[in-house]
C-alpha cells in the first residue's frame, strides 16, 4: 500500500481524526477562510470553497461554523490573515514529507515544525527538496465492502477518474485535480461512501520501511498532523502488509 493512502488508512483506524475533532474544525475553518478570500463566498462559483465546505460537512462541522468562516474570508467578520505555505523535509530512512500549512505567523510555525522533525528523527529541508517527488491528484478511498470492484471501476472511469486499484480493505481511486469535483459528485449521486475524498499529493516512488523506521515515521506524521497550522501531511513511505500489525501495535 503506497504512502499517500497508507497514512490516511492508518490515521482512520487509530482514530487520529476523531480524537482531535475540535482541532480539526479549526483547520477546516482556516481552509474555508482562505478559499473565500481568494475566490469569493459563492461555492457555486468558487470550486476551492466548495471543496473546503464539503470536507467540513463530511467532518460534521456545524453549519454556523462554516458560515462564520465564509464571512471571515469575505471580510464580513474580522479574522486573521493566513498565509499558504508548503514545508518539506525528511523522516527516518530518508522518507520524503510534505506539509501543507496555513499560518498567520510563518516564523513561529517554521520553528515549531522544524522542532517536530528533529524530535522524531528527521529534518526540515529547503523549498523544493522533495516536492518534485509528488504530483497533485484527487484521491478517494472507498471501502471494499460497500461496492463491487467492477461496478466502481465503471462508475469512476465514466466520471473522469484515472485509475481504480484495490489496497487492502479499500479501493483507491485517483483522478486529476480538474476531475475531482465531478468524481465526488458522481460518488454522492450513486451513494458510494468514501473513507477519504481529497486533493492529495501522490508520490512517484515509495520507500519501504521496517518496524523501527515505520514507527518513527508514523510518530512524525501524527505529531505533524496534530499541529494547528498543518492542513495535511503527505509522505512517500510504504509499510509491507506482513509487518504492518507490528508497526501500528502501539
Record the pTM. 0.88
Residue pair 121/178 in contact by the 8 Å Cβ criterion: no
83-132+206-238 CATH fold:
Alpha-Beta Plaits (3.30.70)
Per-residue pLDDT of 10-54, as tens digits, reads: 666 555 555 566 688 999 999 999 999 999 999 999 989 999 999
Residue 192 DSSP one-character state? -
**Region 133-203: CATH code:** 3.30.70.980
Q: How much is the pLDDT for 13? A: 59
* pLDDT greater at residue 13 or residue 206: 206
Nearest to 199 by CA among 54, 21, 73, 71: 54
**Second-level CATH architecture of 3-73:** Orthogonal Bundle (1.10)
What residue spans in the chain does CATH classification 3.30.70.980 cover? 83-132+206-238, 133-203
Amino acid at each position: 500500500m503506497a504512502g499517500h493512502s497508507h497514512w490516511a488508512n492508518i490515521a482512520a483506524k487509530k482514530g487520529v481524526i476523531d480524537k482531535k475533532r475540535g482541532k480539526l474544525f479549526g483547520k477546516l475553518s482556516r481552509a474555508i477562510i482562505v478559499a473565500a478570500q481568494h475566490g469569493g463566498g459563492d461555492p457555486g462559483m468558487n470550486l476551492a470553497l466548495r471543496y473546503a465546505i464539503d470536507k467540513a460537512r463530511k467532518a460534521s462541522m456545524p453549519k454556523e461554523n462554516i458560515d462564520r468562516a465564509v464571512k471571515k474570508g469575505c471580510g464580513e467578520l474580522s479574522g486573521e490573515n493566513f498565509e499558504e505555505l508548503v514545508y518539506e523535509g525528511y523522516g527516518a530512512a530518508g522518507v520524503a514529507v510534505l506539509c501543507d500549512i496555513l499560518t498567520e505567523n510563518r516564523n513561529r510555525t517554521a520553528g515549531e515544525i522544524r522542532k517536530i522533525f528533529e524530535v522524531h528523527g528527521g529534518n526540515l529541508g529547503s523549498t523544493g527538496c522533495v516536492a518534485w517527488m509528488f504530483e497533485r491528484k484527487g484521491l478517494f478511498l472507498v471501502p471494499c465492502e460497500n461496492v463491487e470492484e467492477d461496478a466502481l471501476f465503471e462508475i469512476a472511469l465514466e466520471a473522469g477518474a484515472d485509475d481504480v486499484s484495490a489496497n487492502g480493505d479499500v479501493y483507491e481511486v485517483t483522478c486529476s485535480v480538474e476531475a475531482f469535483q465531478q468524481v465526488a459528485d458522481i460518488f454522492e449521486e450513486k451513494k458510494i461512501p468514501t473513507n477519504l475524498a481529497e486533493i492529495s499529493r501522490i508520490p512517484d516512488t515509495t520507500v519501504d520501511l521496517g518496524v523501527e523506521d515505520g514507527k518513527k515515521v508514523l510518530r512524525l506524521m501524527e505529531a505533524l498532523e496534530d499541529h494547528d497550522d498543518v492542513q495535511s501531511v503527505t509522505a512517500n513511505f510504504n509499510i509491507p502488509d506482513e509487518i504492518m500489525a507490528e508497526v501500528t501495535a502501539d
